[in-house]
A and B are shown apart, each in its own frame.
Chain A
């Protein structure tokens, strides 16, 4: 296979895998066969130019938000918008790249918003955009620790809610993190804003401790948008007090985002300890195996 070519593969009748370069999408849809098939074709057509367009604006997208001039591409514009909103609200360092996965998912989920498609998802490596008819819902499983995955919690996203994005971040994931969270999962209005918020909250779950190994991002990965900022390489055994201190810091930041209406719900996990945040005050996230 040549990476220049976008590829797709049908996994089963209602599920496809789209891939190009660093992008891997698993897309599922349910509803009437005709509209679903049309939606998949539309999404495939939309997927083709995505990577090429992003690459054209990569220098802008790696620069701190808010940028003076918004980018032109449709996915880049979503990234820019999500990261700029967070930067203005918090003043924290962020680049549009923090929202890249979610923005690609949002870009494609639009194709499924048509009569006959009951529900659909575009899962971009854990950053998920959803389409739901008003009376449909998705049950989403949460994996608290990528190093030892299991469904640790479950939650429902209802069609009647205004949330259509789910995203996770943590130092064990593929992207670099400045924090030590095992995972931060965010449910928000769309995948781009959930993606960017999860990245920032995961950065905020942090504490000073000699058991944490860090190095400048530039020494870990080429072309990282984080430059010389320290990123987490390994987290050794932490005391319960230190774990709680790190979670407190993350929780404060997450509540700040919730106060600005930038996230709906969030789950923060570190060393088996949890913090749940819900803007509506409901305890809608059911923790199954939290220890």
Chain B
């Protein structure tokens, strides 16, 4: 392959060591990064705010984060002693955008344009921290509990920071942050929106309040907490779907099943599934608005009781029984869509349902509903547009970068995490923050969010799209400076070096 030549790098700067003064307190270390020679206590920063004492070690507080390929051993950095080995092998590390810095507002070449080698092919990764005013977080909350009306304002520390958006099957969605809250409202609103976004992106727990709805605690990849109660599991399906899944297992063991659900409450004998099994009608009359047979909307108000409704007594949704059809001794199972709530009833002489012990065979099916529910999680996606001036840090002709991404010649990652590139114009990317390194997100007081972003492509493709070739550094030279923090590759994220796709 015909690779463009790379300029040789300047040697790494020598690290000077000075002798610490003799009467220094034991919990302090002396920073030798500049002539001020600050003595820094544990957990503090020096006068520059750049170097600090972390657990007794002098650390650059914002060193760029290198990520180690999962299947290789990496020897800790020993500045100046690197032997050039990587030039002949695949690079064992990936330079992430985390703490790489940015050149804003002077959009000159990105802070790190790094050449490495993968399977014999020279690759280049352009690494930067984007400053995003136009960005938001989409939060998926696996719960059927009532969080609040669609379009309701979501508040963080009393400030409006987002809204409830369209519900999806089994989960409710919040849209948080965005330019309107960051810069369109009061200063405090912008500051709080920025703080919330940074914390959410960094996988911290945040407390939210929905107007006319619930109080929430949300953390990426953790169960959501709704009104102080930690959510355990997602519903197996809506009430109607639950009837459909388990009808055959109930048939012959129970005369009627009502699956209570805020969305669609199912009634077994009226439902198509019960009819196909030739189950006789039970004569039950349910509150709510009938949809198709055996499916009822709005049997109660939304809430945090049975099946995402506000009821605590399941019988309250039963209007009565048709005396011409129902008979004493008839059995009734009422159950929620997660199996968390379940009660067995038998009709007495007056056709009043009386609680009774649930037969083991039915309990087994109720348990199976629970087993089929996945753990409820809150998941957080970062959504940001990198289509603006940030591209100038990559190439002098930004449209070529956009096209290169669309043509799958360039792979985009956020802190090494894979992204979904939204179709259409621009470079609008979406990434799961749980697959990004902790602490990936920062902010600037504009206010705006700072997020890592990397563009990886073949070196010859980089040249072809008008890249800043004179600024390409070898990965070994970045390594040799020793000013980095090495972390493990995260989970099963695909290794970004290699053929994009």
A174 touches B16 (CB 8 A): no
Residues of the A chain whose Cβ atoms lie less than 8 Å from the Cβ of B191: 147-148
A20 touches B47 (CB 8 A): no
Please, what's the 1-or-0 string for B244-270, where 1 marks a CB less than 8 Å from any CB in chain A?
000000000000000000000000000
> Is B116 in contact with chain A by the CB < 8 A criterion?
no
B35 touches A55 (CB 8 A): yes
Given A2-B13, A174-B49, A52 and B35 contact (CB-CB distance below 8 Å): yes
> Is B360 in contact with chain A by the CB < 8 A criterion?
no
- Give the CA-CA distance A145 to B186 in the complex, in Å: 13
Please, what's the 1-or-0 string for A9-41, where 1 marks a CB less than 8 Å from any CB in chain B?
001100000001110000000000000000000
A147 touches B35 (CB 8 A): no
> Is B356 in contact with chain A by the CB < 8 A criterion?
no
B47 touches A21 (CB 8 A): yes
A21 touches B34 (CB 8 A): yes
Given A145-B187, A148-B191, A21 and B445 contact (CB-CB distance below 8 Å): no
B445 touches A148 (CB 8 A): yes
**Which of A2, A145, A150 has the most B CB atoms < 10 Å from its CB?**
A2
- Give the CA-CA distance A4 to B33 in the complex, in Å: 6
B34 touches A51 (CB 8 A): yes
Residues of the A chain whose Cβ atoms lie less than 8 Å from the Cβ of B106: 11-12
Please, what's the 1-or-0 string for B39-58, where 1 marks a CB less than 8 Å from any CB in chain A?
11100111111110000000
A4 touches B187 (CB 8 A): no
The residue from A1, A11, A145, A223 contacting B38, defined by CB atoms under 8 A apart? A223
The residue from B44, B46, B49, B190 contacting A148, defined by CB atoms under 8 A apart? B190
| Closest beta carbon of chain B to A65's beta carbon, Å | 20
A4 touches B34 (CB 8 A): yes
Residues of the B chain whose Cβ atoms lie less than 8 Å from the Cβ of A2: 13-16, 33
| Closest beta carbon of chain B to A132's beta carbon, Å | 25
Closest chain A residue to B33, Cβ basis: A3
| Closest beta carbon of chain A to B84's beta carbon, Å | 22
State the main secondary structure of chain A at its contact with B: loop
The residue from B15, B44, B49, B446 contacting A22, defined by CB atoms under 8 A apart? B49
| Closest beta carbon of chain B to A127's beta carbon, Å | 15
Residues of the B chain whose Cβ atoms lie less than 8 Å from the Cβ of A148: 187-188, 190-191, 445, 447
Please, what's the 1-or-0 string for A199-236, where 1 marks a CB less than 8 Å from any CB in chain B?
00000000000000000000001110000000000000
Please, what's the 1-or-0 string for A121-155, where 1 marks a CB less than 8 Å from any CB in chain B?
00000000000000000000000011111100000
> Is B87 in contact with chain A by the CB < 8 A criterion?
no
> Is B90 in contact with chain A by the CB < 8 A criterion?
no
| Closest beta carbon of chain B to A198's beta carbon, Å | 19
Closest chain B residue to A289, Cβ basis: B187
> Is A5 in contact with chain B by the CB < 8 A criterion?
yes
Given A1-B13, A148-B445, A55 and B37 contact (CB-CB distance below 8 Å): yes
- Give the CA-CA distance A107 to B106 in the complex, in Å: 27
The residue from A3, A147, A174 contacting B34, defined by CB atoms under 8 A apart? A3
Closest chain B residue to A2, Cβ basis: B13
> Is B483 in contact with chain A by the CB < 8 A criterion?
yes
Residues of the A chain whose Cβ atoms lie less than 8 Å from the Cβ of B16: 2, 4
Considering only residues 1-46 of chain B, those with a C-beta below 8 Å from chain A are 13-16, 28, 33-41, 44-46
| Closest beta carbon of chain A to B213's beta carbon, Å | 26
Residues of the A chain whose Cβ atoms lie less than 8 Å from the Cβ of B33: 2-4, 21
State the main secondary structure of chain B at its contact with A: loop
Considering only residues 220-254 of chain A, those with a C-beta below 8 Å from chain B are 221-223
- Give the CA-CA distance A221 to B43 in the complex, in Å: 10
Residues of the B chain whose Cβ atoms lie less than 8 Å from the Cβ of A4: 16, 33-35
A150 touches B13 (CB 8 A): no
Residues of the B chain whose Cβ atoms lie less than 8 Å from the Cβ of A11: 106
The residue from A1, A147, A222 contacting B44, defined by CB atoms under 8 A apart? A222
| Closest beta carbon of chain A to B319's beta carbon, Å | 52
Residues of the A chain whose Cβ atoms lie less than 8 Å from the Cβ of B38: 222-223
Closest chain B residue to A24, Cβ basis: B48
A22 touches B47 (CB 8 A): yes
- Give the CA-CA distance A223 to B188 in the complex, in Å: 33
Residues of the A chain whose Cβ atoms lie less than 8 Å from the Cβ of B49: 22, 174
Residues of the B chain whose Cβ atoms lie less than 8 Å from the Cβ of A145: 187
- Give the CA-CA distance A2 to B51 in the complex, in Å: 12
B40 touches A222 (CB 8 A): yes
- Give the CA-CA distance A22 to B47 in the complex, in Å: 6
- Give the CA-CA distance A149 to B16 in the complex, in Å: 38
- Give the CA-CA distance A20 to B36 in the complex, in Å: 10
- Give the CA-CA distance A150 to B445 in the complex, in Å: 9
Residues of the B chain whose Cβ atoms lie less than 8 Å from the Cβ of A150: 187
Please, what's the 1-or-0 string for A159-201, where 1 marks a CB less than 8 Å from any CB in chain B?
0000000000000001000000000000000000000000000
- Give the CA-CA distance A3 to B18 in the complex, in Å: 13
Closest chain B residue to A220, Cβ basis: B44
- Give the CA-CA distance A151 to B402 in the complex, in Å: 34
- Give the CA-CA distance A3 to B61 in the complex, in Å: 14
- Give the CA-CA distance A5 to B13 in the complex, in Å: 10
Closest chain A residue to B16, Cβ basis: A4
B36 touches A55 (CB 8 A): yes
A223 touches B39 (CB 8 A): yes
- Give the CA-CA distance A61 to B395 in the complex, in Å: 48
The residue from A1, A20, A149 contacting B446, defined by CB atoms under 8 A apart? A149
- Show 30 residue pairs from A and B whose CB-CB distance is below 8 angstroms, ordered by the A residue: A1-B13, A2-B13, A2-B14, A2-B15, A3-B48, A4-B16, A4-B33, A5-B13, A11-B106, A21-B34, A21-B35, A21-B47, A21-B48, A22-B34, A51-B36, A52-B35, A145-B187, A148-B188, A148-B191, A148-B445, A148-B447, A149-B445, A149-B446, A150-B187, A174-B49, A221-B45, A222-B39, A222-B41, A223-B38, A223-B39
Question: What 10 pairs between A and B have smallest CB-CB spacing?
Answer: A21-B34, A148-B187, A3-B34, A3-B33, A22-B48, A22-B47, A2-B13, A55-B35, A52-B35, A149-B445
Further pairs besides A3-B51, A22-B34: 8, Cβ < 8 Å: A2-B14, A2-B33, A22-B36, A22-B46, A55-B36, A148-B187, A222-B38, A223-B39
